[in-house]
Amino acid sequence: MARNGRWLTVLLAAGFFLLGFLGLTRVYEAWCIDRIYPGVRVWDLSVGGMRLDEAAAALEEHVTVLGRPVFTLRGPDRSWGVRPADLGIRLAAEATTRTAFHVGRGPGEGVLAHLWLLVAGRNLPPVLSFDEATARLYLETLAEQIDEPAVDASLRIEGTVPVALPAQPGRRLEVEATLAAVRQGLSSLGADGVDLVVREVPPQVTDAEPARAWVEALLAEPLVLLLPDPREGDPGPWLLPPERLTGLLTTFVNDGRLHAALNPERLRAYLVEEVAPKLAVEPVDARFHFDEATGELVVIAPSAEGRALDVEASLQNIVAAVEAGRHIAPLVLRTVPPRYPETATAEELGIRELVVEVDSYFIGSPSGRDHNIRLAASRFDGLVIPPGETFSFNHYLGEVSTEAGYDESYITAGEQLAIEVGGGICQVSTTVFRAALWGGYPIVERWFHHHRVGYYELRGYGPGFDATVYSPLVDLKFVNDRSAPLLIETEIEDAAHRLVFRFYSIDDGRRVEVEGPEITDETEPGEPIYQLDETLEPGEVIRWQSALNGLTATVERWVYDAVGSLLYHDTFVSRYAPRRAAYHYGPGYEPPEEGP
């Protein structure tokens, strides 16, 4: 009986314990019905026993850890601790708490599982959102610290010594591949770190030795440019020393290797600017007279071919010689034919008749002036001016010097006549101006003299029909606007001291009307000038120049075409200053006192 009583007591105690346990579990389960089961943690934060809103708030507070640099990005030579927020990583609090709430509520999970959860616990990763645009922007900025460009093999010339510089690989952060690695590390926020994906960037040029060797051979001695068949007096040869050759070099890449060569543009510029001008010989046009009886051209001076440097052919020769390892290269010349060879005929050129004939007189000119007029006039005799070309008096006149054959004579300069080489040339330019004026040619440059010159007003010409020149600043220019060339003839009539210019071309029917000169603004000269001249005899007095009134002379011209339409209307205004009389005297002479 006693044994039976003990078992009954045990059974009753077990029953009461079971009833108590069942009651407690029912209370526990009832308490957890709207709470996360105890034992659940999120990112080491205990959220068990919390309702969803409480857990969300706790997580939001705990999320400040995201501001710490816990996301490690490992590069090739350093690491970066990055705030997850900078990579666009954000905590999804509601989604995370819902995940935590469903722990223990799956199919087949009961009280025992809940009790085990309470004992063992479970740590859940947070649910995170990932903004790839933000992460990409961060990585692209980071790439500025990581990326290194590849360094191509290159050539440096130290003085005249070429030095090959080796190539070096670069590196580049692969942003998209790194984004994928960051995405994989989100669950642990990169607790073990994320390796940046960095690729090596190979150089495009891996070897500069071919260029170095070529340049070394080129700079070993000067490059010589010469004419294959030089004539006496020809310039050259041209020596390009190594120091000069270095400035003509260029490099290029072939099969990953650097090569060197002469730069065609620089070499061409050298030939054009330094060699070609020294070799150029202008062709000489034939000079003609027009035989009015036969209508044919008569050659008075033969033509001659010119020559010029053939830049492109010379360039090819130089390049070929250098590529072959030679240091001597022949230049190439080409002939330049004259525009008007002596075989040209009047019919071919379209020169058919006399267009205009004008004159000027130089009666009483001193011998030096007379000589200069004749010499200057000869420079224009037989010239052929192409259609559309602007005639420049100074261009065809050429150099004015004693070496060119000119004498000294009077010129107008300042208040007194002066003596200078070439005095009298303006007699020729004045006559050309009159030919262009009456021939109806467009006159684009003409200058009047400072004072009136008596020679230019002889035999019916008034003031305003003169033209002064003084190379290179003061010129006389007109345009041959006819369809045919213009042939210029000059003639000196010795008996009359008359200079004649004739223009032959094609008569296109134009008509010229000239009015003037209209004289205005006349002014009286001042008191005479007296100037001591130590070369004169004592007491000797000579009149150096006569007094002339100043005035303004206006000449107008109208040029009409064959049907009467106005082509040109010109107004030529010449403002002449008054000129005082001038006397030169020897020692001992007392010049008169100037008036009040």
Segment 34-52, tens digit of pLDDT: 899 898 898 788 988 899 8
pLDDT at 175: 94
Q: Is the peptide bond before 237 cis (omega within 30 degrees of 0)?
A: yes
82-91, 256-265, 328-337, 447-456: which has the minimum mean pLDDT?
82-91
Say what the pLDDT of residue 9 is.
Answer: 66
Local confidence band at 191 (pLDDT 50, 70, 90 cut-offs): low
Give the β-pairing of 333-336 and 306-309: antiparallel
* Nearest-angstrom CA–CA distance, 201 and 147: 9
**How wide is the angle at C-alpha 355 spanned by C-alphas 354 and 360, nearest 5°?**
95
* Residue 176: CB atoms within 10 Å: 10
Closest C-alpha among 10, 4, 98 to residue 59 = 98
* pLDDT category of residue 26 using cuts at 50, 70 and 90: confident
Question: What are the structural domains, with CATH classification, of the chain?
Answer: 33-146 (no CATH), 154-201 (no CATH), 210-336 (3.10.20.800), 351-585 (no CATH)
pTM of this structure: 0.65
Q: Which residues does 288 contact at the CB level (< 8 Å), separation at least 6?
A: 297, 298, 299, 300, 340, 344, 382, 384, 487
* Residue-level pLDDT at 187: 66
What average pLDDT score do residues 75-92 get? 85
Residue 18 has what pLDDT? 64
pLDDT band at 30 (very low <50, low <70, confident <90, very high): confident
The pLDDT of residue 448 is: 93
pLDDT score of 379 more than 60: yes
Q: Using 50, 70 and 90 to split pLDDT, how confident is the model at 62?
A: confident
pLDDT (mean) for 211-238? 92
Q: Which DSSP helix (H) or strand (E) runs through 9?
A: helix 2-31
Does the pLDDT of residue 69 top 60, yes or no? no
Answer yes or no: are the C-beta atoms of 521 and 551 closer than 8 Å: yes
Average pLDDT, the chain: 88
66 has a pLDDT exceeding 60: no
Whether 153 and 208 have beta carbons less than 8 Å apart is answered as: yes
pLDDT (average), residues 195-217: 93
In tens, the pLDDT along 300-314 reads: 999 999 999 999 999
Tell me, what's the pLDDT at 527? Answer: 83
pLDDT of residue 130: 82
Q: Label residue 304 exposed, middle or buried (CB < 10 Å: 0-12, 13-18, 19+).
A: middle
Residue 357 pLDDT greater than 60, yes or no: yes
**Is residue 293 scored above 60 in pLDDT?**
yes
Give the pLDDT confidence of 240-291 residue by residue, as tens digits: 999 999 999 999 999 889 999 999 999 999 999 999 999 999 999 999 999 9
DSSP-assigned letter for residue 468: B
pLDDT at 594: 64
Are 171 and 201 within 8 A, CB to CB? yes
Average pLDDT for residues 368-395, to the nearest whole number? 95
Q: What whole-number percentage of the chain has pLDDT above 90?
A: 57
| 579-595 tens-digit pLDDT | 888 888 888 888 887 65
User: For the range 28-31, what are the long-range contacts, defined as Cβ-Cβ under 8 Å and sequence gap of 24 or more?
Assistant: 28/111, 28/114, 29/111, 29/114
